[in-house]
Amino acid sequence: MFVKTDLATPRRLLPVSPWSIGLSMTILLVASGATGRAAPLDEPVQATFQRLPLRTLLERLQATTGVPLILARQIDPTQPVSLDCRGEPLRNAVERLAGTVDAELAILESSAWLVPAGSASRFTAADQLRQQSVRRLPPSGRRQLAATAVWSWPAGATPATLLTELVAAATANGQPLRFSGLETEIPHDHLAAGSLPALSLAERFDLVAMQYGLRVDWQADGGPPGQLRGRLVPLPEATDSPPGVAAATRRPRRPNTRRLPPANPANSRYTLRVAAPFDELLAAVAKQLQLTATIDRPALRRQGIDPREIVRLEVANVDRDGLLDAIVSPLHLRWKIDKDSLTVTTAPAAGITP
């Protein structure tokens, strides 16, 4: 039996803006096992999302896993979606999500895309062609295009502006770039605010171009020493199995015998961001921890505690005990686990040993 009494030194909770409650409540528990780390898309994830806009769901998965998850502009980012993951690899979870919105998962060098059904091979082939064109460049050009950086932009930014800023930044850093077609071939859209984990410079160029059916072909230029020329060209045509590229599928056709086992809830690390009624939050988290939750409501009532009170918190990379501590501490409660049962009740009065 595991027992936690009142917290002598409460954990400091990180400040967090209120999240929406009710249908768009999110319980995000990302668990990593105690053994060696797998490739990012093979990391197990435990998460529950309920009726969130598709773009928001992907942003929260990306923020927690560190994997750039890109939504193609042809897919409605506002459509409400739900996703329940029970320790499956991130790759499989996103594949399931893609299947619910008539999309496919395209896995590129450092990012994963949700693209319209039937078009994943265009993106994976373009990704391979970009890598080939970069490998043909002189060493200095390869180094510059391989430089990684996080990337963010404000609401209202235009695609051409983003690419122009990349050109200017690269030139200022000693790698002159000449780029044609930015103003004429990239539509003058106004984008929602965005933020991405570290990607190479070449991938950041393609991230914008591929949203409009284009990719960047890189060549050494005949101008100043070391200058590179980027040229916008159409994405390859879709094929069933592009040469040298693993075709992306909406769902695995055969069971994945190498799938990682679900993370052990007691030995995993968790991240949670939420604003929700305490009783709903506890029930959702207990489900993810494979426990049955019980609240001692008479005890809470005697101390004037409403189990429907809103709890707002954000914790990152904590173990199971730290997660439960963070949930009960705002209401000064305690928890205990006996086999598969989680019970929450009031903390004992000061000076009384339970």
pLDDT averaged over consecutive 10-residue blocks of the chain (354 residues)?
38 29 43 46 83 91 86 93 87 92 92 93 93 89 88 90 88 79 78 88 93 91 75 85 38 40 66 79 86 93 89 81 90 92 83 46
Beta strand 333-338 with 2-4 is antiparallel
Neighbours of 170 (CB within 10 A): 20
Q: To 10 degrees, what angle do helices 201-209 and 120-135 make?
A: 140
Place of tokens 């404000």: 154
**In the structure encoding, which two tokens stand for residue 306, read together?**
């409403």
Say what the pLDDT of residue 251 is: 39
Residues 301 and 163 in one domain: no
**DSSP 8-state code for residue 75:** S
Say what the pLDDT of residue 223 is: 65
Residues 299 and 230 in one domain: no
Evaluate whether 104 touches 117 at the Cβ level (below 8 Å): yes
Residues 12 and 74 in one domain: no
Burial class (CB in 10 A: 0-12, 13-18, 19+), 21: middle
**DSSP 8-state code for residue 176:** -
Q: How far is CA 169 from the centre of its chain?
A: 27
Residues 47 and 174 in one domain: yes
Evaluate whether 52 touches 71 at the Cβ level (below 8 Å): no
Residues 94 and 157 in one domain: yes
Distance CA 61, CA 141 (A): 33
Say what the pLDDT of residue 39 is: 60
Distance CA 90, CA 113 (A): 13
Asked whether residue 75 is domain-assigned, the answer is yes
Among residues 103, 29, 42, 90, the alpha carbon closest in space to that of 291 is found at 29
Residues 6 and 64 in one domain: no
Domain membership of residue 296 as a residue range: 2-26+264-345
Asked whether residue 147 is domain-assigned, the answer is yes
Beta strand 228-234 with 270-277 is unpaired
CATH number of domain containing 332: 3.55.50.30
Residues 199 and 64 in one domain: yes
Q: Is the pTM of this model over 0.75?
A: no
**In the structure encoding, which two tokens stand for residue 324, read together?**
């439960």
**In the structure encoding, which two tokens stand for residue 184, read together?**
């004429």
Tell me the per-residue pLDDT of 13-38, one tens digit each, with 9 for 90 and over. 322 222 233 334 445 554 544 433 33
Domain boundary residue, one of 234, 249, 273: 234
Q: Domain total for the chain?
A: 2
Asked whether residue 255 is domain-assigned, the answer is no
